[in-house]
Amino acid sequence: MTKFEGYFTALVTPFSNGEVDEPAFRDLVEWQIIEGAKGLVPCGTTGESPTLTHSEHMRVVELCVEVAAGRVPIIAGAGSNATKEACELTQHARDAGASGALLVMPYYNKPTQEGMYRHYMTIADTVDIPQIIYNIPGRCVVNMSLETMTNLSRHENIVGVKDATADLCMPTLVKAACGEEFIQFSGEDGTALGFLAQGGHGVISVTANIVPRLCSEFFKSWKANDVLKAFERHMALMPLHDVMFLESNPIPVKFALSLMKRCIGEYRLPLCEPSKENSDLIESTMYKLQLL
């Protein structure tokens, strides 16, 4: 299996005149790889996946795989609150050549632990591709229990979790229950250092959209056991982590990328541009960090 470790960028989906901006997306993927991203995640929440049509979703995954051309692993967003739809998107990810699939917890339905178990087992039994559970109670309301995750980890196709609970006890508990080989990504940029220290393997990051090299250097410091340098880089990243979540993701990060001329900052309703106050704060933070 492809090694999943380090900073994976949860990519935005650039739009232009209501359509996916394919040239901007291609350029973003190429820049991310050049700047040191260890992997890419198209069609997640940061990619505004709830507003993509199925054909757009599939096209974005295909583009990402095509441009990456095997240089870094691609974990394609393929989750849904309908198990059948999640199976179809996961099958497409496999057919497109993705290295894995990221499967968000079913949202709105509020499944029980048994329902969660059956959902993920159905996908894992249907499609032979490495699968990452995405546990994010803040968006999905429900939280997967450690027992359910442990039971799911026994399936050969369920290889890890993206944890956006911000509970820094979880990496250690999951490691003890599911084993060292069960991959753990933080889904909360601000917890990266603590998450790694508690047993994590990497981060699926929003902030890496704008500073992939700094994120990569932070992880390299950690892997080299240079804790002081890792902390220094973590401190440098924290102001960005902070402003990237002033409003619902991906509103701030898409605005930041527009300031960097990497997309035009177009959103799809119900998301829209950030407030003037928050726009000014994002811009001033980026100036202070010499990103503009």
Catalytic residues: 134, 162
**Angle between helix 146-153 and 170-178 (nearest 10):** 40
Q: Are 284 and 80 in contact (CB under 8 A)?
A: no
User: Count of residues for the chain?
Assistant: 292
∠ CA 277-187-176, rounded to 5°: 150
Q: List alpha helices for 35-169, DSSP H.
A: 54-68, 83-96, 113-126, 137-140, 146-153
- Helix, strand, coil shares of the chain, percent, nearest 5, are 50, 15, 35
100: three-class secondary structure by DSSP = strand
Q: How far apart, in whole angstroms, are the C-alpha atoms of residue 153 and residue 178? A: 6
